[in-house]
Amino acid sequence: MSDNRLGAETSPYLLQHKDNPVAWRPWGPEAFAEAKRTGRPVLLSVGYAACHWCHVMAHESFEDADVAALMNELYVNIKVDREERPDVDQIYMAALHHLGEQGGWPLTMFLDGDGKPFWGGTYFPKTARYGRPGFMDVLTQVAQVYRESPDKVAHNTDAILSRLNAAARPAEGVTLSLADLDKAAQQISGLFDRTHGGLRGAPKFPQSGLLELLWRASARSGDAHLKAVAAFTLNRMCEGGIYDHLGGGFSRYAVDEMWLVPHFEKMLYDNAQLLELLALAYQDTGDELFLLRARETVGWLRREMLTPEGAFAASLDADSEGHEGKFYVWTKAEIEAVLGAEDAAYFGAFYDVSEAGNWEDRIILNRTRFGDVSMVEEARLQPLKDKLLAARAKRVRPGLDDKVLADWNGLMIAALARAGALLGEADWVALASSAFAAVTRLMVKDGALGHSYRAGRLLLPGLASDLAAMARAGTAVHEATGEAAPLAQASAFLETLEQDYLDPASGAYFLTAVGADTLVVRPFSSLDEALPNYNAVAADALVRLAPLTGRDDLRARADRIIAALTGAAAQNPLAHPSLLNALDTRLRLAEIVTVGMRREAFADAALRLPFPTRVVVRAADAAALPKGSLARARADSAPPEGAAFVCVGERCSLPVTEPDQLAGALKDLEA
């Protein structure tokens, strides 16, 4: 019987492995002490609950008695949930890249007793196939090298650590202008697939940061082509198989270039970023498809992702009953059994239904090839979709990873508040407000924000990504509602970030706090991954909070972060869209100040303007405005019934006396 120690954990991913015959240990000093005591290397396996290939490797190897016996004999085995410990994942994924290997999950790394990596890979089949070495052979050979060639192992660890430390130092900063941002957008738009949308080739990821970069550049420069590229990509995703046409919500990515075949897991963070883009796209284009998909996605969020405490769960698994996508796919006969022959034929003409299917003899519902669908047709399809959704609900559901992650929740809360205010969806704003309250209630202990919460257990301290995203969320909720508490909490999060995460050498932030777990290097990054980079999110939040509080020092912090990281962004704009978007916010943010008895009417009008480059400040009168506010002097002359002022840079408009004049006043200042 193995000495598996995962049974006391709360992470759904770790609990998936608690009955493995592998002697798994959670990440911690005890595991590394055991490695030093026994002289064995550490096998580190990193994955997450919704990961299909993690499940495959688990079934093939970690549930196999022979493989487990070999692992237990030769290694100290550590299992990590990358969503619970993104700091650990970031370090060892970077190490794998420095070994010249492609990244991905499951991540399989071999470490010495100090946690220094010396070799690794991702998924290994149990026995060699498709050009991949067999896992049992890998286990034997790596252990032999560790035992018989310590000099070679030490050389590898030194070389990898040297590269990790070098990578953690940002490139020398450069000054970027709006013209540079426009140039980057033009270059990136040239990489997009004109036939299917998204970056050319396969697999295809949503790349929300890049789509936002194109959208901002189009709004800034007036180049309609850039917005068309982004809108076309959104359209293809909304009609493709990557979107759940019955239940709402987007899958993580598509394995093909047409957005047809998804990896079926649904992640909270993808849907947060896409919700913001759908709201912007609908407001600008009036295309009802974008509004419909936004509403359906929020419907999915309420129905399937809301925890009993009022926060949001992390993800839905790709697999059910041991098969990827089984919950979501259909046969023609199954559809006919639910809808009847006539309605099934009507539905099937839109959704690519055929006897042969379009994926492994099954049907992934999609409208990739159909073309435009009118709202009349949408209305006729809706009750048919409802019937199929009800039938699907009787199937064995994919697993829900119901841990609450502060950073992922922060992204979704901000998206709901921003999109809800922009589109006049008051219930979305209310959902954002209640979720923000839930996260702060569950995850703030003695003033400190944690990273992960589940089953009453809070993982502390939080990461820089948590503080930045929740500051963004608090600011967005305050803008949308006028509530004071979220703004105060956002300010507190950013103060903690400054005190405990600052890298004095660069002026940006480390991912981990002073006093957190000691890792082989202290994680630092400027790159976007599936989530926007935490330094970029922090910079954007600081820029927005400055006019809301009248604190110029917050704007100076944002300038310091941007200056530290623009060198890396200039070298590789494709990997830094969030930082470039934060720079656009810094250079173009419009401060819209509403005062007087009608201030809420003016605030409502201001919130209907695109949120990427505006912030809404409310005040009863001039005296209630922050002392540093540009509009404070002008507000003294505002009529008692109320007015609004628009300030961009160092310029402010004359009083705007009617809410419907705000958009024109902003346009005049931006000209």
Write out the two tokens for 653: 């408009």
- Do 471 and 534 sit in the same domain of this protein? yes
Co-location of 520 and 441 in the same domain: yes
Domain of residue 87, CATH code: 3.40.30.10
Work out whether the CA dihedral 29, 33, 34, 35 comes out positive or negative. positive
Residue 45 bridge partners (DSSP): 79, 108
Cis peptide leading into residue 203 (ω within 30°): yes
The DSSP call for residue 446 is T
Confidence (pTM): 0.94
Torsion of CA 562, 567, 568, 573, to 10 degrees: 80
pLDDT at residue 517 in the model: 85
**Domain endpoint, select from 547, 566, 588:** 588
82 shares its domain with 220: no
**Residues 308 and 345 reside in one and the same domain:** no
User: Is the CB of residue 486 less than 8 Å from the CB of residue 477?
Assistant: yes
Chain centroid, CA 444 distance in Å: 21
∠408-411-416 over CA atoms, to 5°? 125
Query: What 3-state class would DSSP assign to 309?
Result: coil
Q: Tell me: do 150 and 38 sit in the same domain.
A: yes
Q: Is residue 426 part of a domain?
A: yes
213 and 82 in a single domain? The answer is no
Is 287 within the bounds of a domain?
yes
Q: How far apart are CA 233 and CA 191, in angstroms?
A: 12
Q: Determine the pLDDT at residue 130.
A: 65
Helices (H) and strands (E) in the chain, counts: 25, 21
Residue 7 counted as domain residue: no
Last residue of a domain, one of 566, 588, 610: 588
DSSP 418: H
End position of a domain, from candidates 564, 588, 612: 588
State the pLDDT at residue 476.
98
Give the structural domain span for 651. Answer: 590-670
Residue 99 located in a structural domain:
yes
Together in a domain, 342 and 469: no
Q: What is the pLDDT of residue 212?
A: 98
Q: Is residue 5 part of a domain?
A: no
Tell me: do 376 and 411 sit in the same domain: no
- Dihedral in degrees, nearest 10, Cα atoms 177, 182, 188, 194: 170
Place of tokens 């703030």: 444
pLDDT at 129: 76
pLDDT of residue 204: 97
Exposed e or buried b per residue across 88-115, where buried means at least 16 C-beta atoms within 10 angstroms of its C-beta: bbbbbbbbbebbeeeeebbbbbbbbbeb
What residues are paired with 44 via a beta bridge? 78, 109
Helix (H) or strand (E) holding 382, with range, is helix 375-392
Integer CA distances (angstroms), 507 to 89, 435, 510, 547, in order: 24, 32, 10, 22
Averages of pLDDT over each 10 residues, the chain, 671 residues: 89 96 96 96 95 92 96 97 96 91 91 94 87 88 92 88 77 84 97 97 97 97 97 98 98 97 96 98 97 98 98 95 94 98 98 97 96 94 98 97 98 98 98 98 96 96 98 98 97 98 96 92 94 98 95 95 94 96 96 92 97 94 75 72 87 89 90 70
Ramachandran bin of 642, using left for φ above 0, alpha for ψ from -120 to 50, beta for the remaining angles: left
421 shares a domain with 383: no
Q: Please state, in angstroms and rounded to a whole number, the distance separating the CA atoms of residues 83 and 416.
A: 22
pLDDT of residue 132: 77
CB-CB contact of 26 with 13 (8 Å)? no
Same domain, 237 and 143: no
Do 92 and 107 touch, CB atoms closer than 8 A?
yes
- Output DSSP code: residue 654: P
Does residue 124 form part of some domain?
yes
Q: Is residue 4 part of a domain?
A: no
Residue 247 in any domain: the answer is: yes
Residues 441 and 335 in one domain: no
Q: Helices in 340-425 by DSSP H: which ranges?
A: 341-350, 375-392, 406-423
Per DSSP bridges, beta strands 457-459 and 452-454 are antiparallel
**Count of the separate structural domains present in the chain:** 4
Are 162 and 39 contained in the same domain? yes
Tell me, what CATH number does 302's domain have?
Answer: 1.50.10.10
DSSP-assigned beta bridge partners for residue 265:
none
